[in-house]
Structures are given as structure tokens and as C-alpha cells.
Amino acid sequence: MSDLDDLYQEILLDHYRRPRNFGPLPGADRAVDGHNPLCGDRLHIAVRLEGDRLAEIRFEGSGCAISTASASMMTEAVRGLPVAAALSLADRFRALVMGDSPPAAAEELGELAALGGVRAFPMRVKCATLAWHALRSALTGDGARVSTE
């Protein structure tokens, strides 16, 4: 499989064309705008917490296939998780796309492992991490707006 085919896997393109959990989230507790000034991608991530659990998460915005698919897959992966588990997943995802994670780790990430192909495209890593930056900011409450710069 070429690097390009590895990057644009069918599952990623499917999330790009039919993003899951896309749209406004009425009654959200926290919302964060993520922006990549380099390419103009914008994501709005909204979450609703129940105690320490991430009960609901939805996103809106416009971006490339990688940032949109990453956001879509992220919402599926973290919904229902305790906040600490979601943050831990964010760390492992970051390690995956930065090429820092051991090969076995990808298997634990399930569908998210499909985004590992971005490792071969350093200029696109920020596209994959944009939604996760925004999620971290929403969960740790350290800002209403994040930027990849």
C-alpha cells in the first residue's frame, strides 16, 4: 500500500463524507473552537458532561478530509468515556500520529488507527490533531479557543 493509499483509507473517507455526531449540541456544558490558521480549517467541538463522564459530544465546522474524519472518529471514540480516559486516549492518539507509539499501541486504538497514515505526511499531522486539541481544551477548561499554531 502506498503512503497515499494508507493515508486516504476508505474508512477515513467515509467519515469525511458522512461525519458522525455532526451538528449543534443543545445544552452543551463546554464548547471550544479549534482553528488551523495555516489552512483555514475550523472545528467547533461541544460536549455535555454527566458527572465525570463525557455523555455527549458533537462537532461542526469545515475542514479537509483528515481533520473532518479525525473529529468524526474522535466523537465516536470518546463518547461515554470518563474524562480521564478521554484525555488518555488523546495522548495515545497524539503518539500515534507523531510516530511515537509502539506498533502494538495502534491496535488498542481501534478505528482511530486508520489515521496513523498521516505519520508519513508531516505537513498534515496538525489536521489530524486539531479536533483532539480542541477536545483537550474543552475538557480541561483552559481556553475557549485553540489554535494549532
Partner 1 sequence: METTASNQAAETSFDAEAVRAEFPALTPGPGERGCAFLDNAATTQKPRAVLDALERAYVESYGAIGRGVYRWSAEATQHYEQARARVARFLGGAADEVVFVRGTTEAINLVAASWGGSRLRPGDEILVSGLEHHSNLVPWQLAAEATGARLAVAPIDERGEIELGEIERRLAAGKVRLVAVAHVSNALGTVVPVAEIATLAHAAGARLLVDGAQSVPHLPVDVAALGCDFFAFSGHKVYGPSGIGALWARRELLEAMPPWQGGGGMIREVGFERTTFADPPQRFEAGTPAGPEARALATALDWLERLGREAVAAHEAALLELARQRLAEVPGVRLVGSARRRASVVSFVLDGAHAHDVGTVLDAAGVAVRVGHHCAQPVMARFGVPATVRASFAAYSTAAEVEALARAVLRARALLVR
Q: How far is CA 90 from CA 24, 26, 39, 75, in A?
A: 22, 24, 22, 12
Round the CA-based radius of gyration of the chain to a whole number and report it: 14
Say whether residue 8 binds partner 1 (CB under 8 A): yes
**Smallest distance from partner 1 to CB 104, Å:** 28
One of 23, 24, 40, 122 touching partner 1 (CB under 8 A): 40
- Count of C-beta atoms within a 10 Å radius of residue 80: 14
The DSSP letter of residue 82 is B
Task: Record the cell numbers describing residue 5, joined without a space.
Answer: 493509499
22 binds partner 1 (CB under 8 A): no
- 13 binding partner 1? (CB under 8 A): yes
Q: Does 65 participate in binding partner 1 (rule CB under 8 A)?
A: yes
Q: Which stretch binds partner 1 (CB under 8 A): 81-89, 103-111, 116-124, 132-140?
A: 116-124
Give the integer Cα–Cα distance in Å for 143 and 146.
Answer: 7
Distance, CA of 112 to CA of 93 (rounded, Å): 8
CB 79, min distance to partner 1, A: 25
Nearer to partner 1, 44 or 124 (CB): 124
Q: How far is the CB of 16 from partner 1 (least distance, A)?
A: 8
Interface residue with partner 1 among 19, 34, 63, 116 (CB under 8 A) is: 63
Residues 6+ apart with CB under 8 A from 129: 70, 93, 94, 97, 148
Nearer CB in complex with partner 1: 5/52: 5
Interface residues with partner 1 (CB under 8 A) are 2-5, 7-8, 13, 17, 38-41, 62-66, 68, 121, 123-124, 127
